Amino acid sequence: MWKLQSDRYSPTRILSDPAIQYDFPGDRFIPNRSLMDLDQARSLLTSRINKAYHNPGFSELYRQRLEEKLTLDSEGRPFRMLVFRGSPKSSRKSIRLIDETRREEEEALDNSTKDNQFRCLPKRESRILDAPNIINDFYLNIMDWGRNNILAVALGSETFLWNSENGRVQKLLQVGAGDYPTSVAWSGDAKKVAVGYMHSKLQIWDAETSKLIRSLKGHNGRIAATGWNGHILTSGSQDKSIINHDVRASNNMTSHIQVHTEEVCGLRWSRTGNILASGGNENLIYIWESSKMSSSKFLFRFNDHTAAVKALAWCPYQFDILASGGGTADGCIKIWNIQRGICINSIDTKAQICGLEWNRHHKEIMSGHGFSGRENQNMLCLWRYPSMTKAGEFKSHASRVLQLSQSPDGLTVVSAGADETLRFWEIFGPPSNEDFPISELNSLLSLKTSPLR
């Protein structure tokens, strides 16, 4: 037997020889076949040699010579079939694709986390608008920010348009006593506003002239959710149905779906326009393909929430990712992969979720909250995606947040509160390259309060 210390190819021997430097690229024992005599190895495995070696008829001298042949190489050095050995160092960089890829991913994640950590988030809103008579109802969707940079909001029996560029306020409509708007939605071209009402009416208004263009029929309950997809206007109602209206046709109804067993309070078309997500008061989410809605066959049904699902938002940079938020008894933000039909993440916010908005400039999502017995009540929270760790929280509303909407440039989020205020948050903007002096920062964050009407 040979001692490990005298083995020329042992790690101890290699490291103790200063004349040659070796590179050990990994931390695992990986045999090196370069020192193997494969012919000798094969002879060891053949039955003929084994039989000859163990034949008791052979003399001791023959067995000794045979052992030397099998265990020593041609130069008389100990032979090993498996030898741990590093390769001589060279100027060429070793190729470690997997390790390099992992390292780059970790660095990218670290840099992203650092950007989020050092990005200066405002402590307060940049502007407050009075919103008298706003209806304190979780199920309604009474605010939408159009591509023309005009905010439409329903206040009691009236609906107003607020121009964020010049501050002008325009009254779009007013209905009689006993009725009021329960949902508003801008068309894609920002020329028309769809308004759903408590008494099941659905109307389309011209935003420039404030004139009624068309009234659509089909529901027999309040219309709490509306959404546009090109020339298709989709409405969801307390009568548990979803209707697609082709606003170009005289016979406007293209499909009438009644799969939800409670009020439809959330509707959101994907950015590609081929998928619709609907949320209901029975805690369910349905995913629909636009081409198959006439058959009432849904793509997926998600039942993971334990309260009504009003808040729905499609990811702006991953077309198959949907975020949803549950009501008071649930309080969870769930992230869904629509391609695979599974929930890929869930975070318990411990508060009613009334609105969700994705940040288009950073991988983040904002949630607006209502009732809670624990934390996050009446707050806005910013979450990093995909880790869903909290990046910031903002509390200014004296009552629950009813809804969120986002400016067309993706820089500002507006929150509608039951305290009869609209609060504008400059949270989603890209990080600043300059450090503002304290005086300029205080001026930037000063409140600019003005009435909506």
Predicted pLDDT of residue 404 = 98
Mean pLDDT value across the chain? 83
Predicted pLDDT of residue 373 = 73
Taking residue 65's Cβ as centre, other Cβ atoms within 10 Å add up to 12
Bridge partners of 423? Answer: 128, 415
Predicted pLDDT of residue 442 = 37
pTM of the predicted model, to two decimals?
Answer: 0.72
Rounded-to-integer distance, Cα 61 and Cα 274, Å? 86
Predicted pLDDT of residue 18 = 55
- Which percentage of the chain shows pLDDT scores above 90? 65
Using 50, 70 and 90 to split pLDDT, how confident is the model at 374? confident
- For residues 426 and 126, the answer to whether their CB atoms sit within 8 Å is yes
> Per the structure block, which two tokens stand in for 4?
């490990």
Predicted pLDDT of residue 73 = 63
Lowest mean pLDDT of 49-53, 78-82, 358-362, name the range. 49-53
For residues 326-340, one letter each, b for 16 or more C-beta atoms within 10 angstroms of the residue's C-beta and e for the rest, the string is bbbebbbbbbbebee
Nearest CA to 120 out of 424, 364, 427 is that of 427
Task: Please write the tens of the pLDDT for every residue from 426-443.
Answer: 999 775 443 333 333 333
Q: Which residues contact 192 (CB under 8 A, 6 or more apart)?
A: 186, 204, 205, 206, 207, 213
For the chain, count helices (H), then strands (E): 6, 31
- For residues 317 and 307, the answer to whether their CB atoms sit within 8 Å is no
Overall average pLDDT of the 174-195 stretch? 96
Using 50, 70 and 90 to split pLDDT, how confident is the model at 256? very high
Query: 43 φ, ψ to 5°?
Result: -65, -35
Task: Please write the tens of the pLDDT for every residue from 195-239.
Answer: 999 999 999 999 999 999 999 999 999 999 999 999 999 999 999
Rounded-to-integer distance, Cα 296 and Cα 453, Å? 43
Task: Please write the tens of the pLDDT for every residue from 377-407.
Answer: 999 999 999 999 999 999 999 999 999 999 9
Task: Please write the tens of the pLDDT for every residue from 403-425.
Answer: 999 999 999 999 999 999 999 99
- For residues 155 and 131, the answer to whether their CB atoms sit within 8 Å is yes
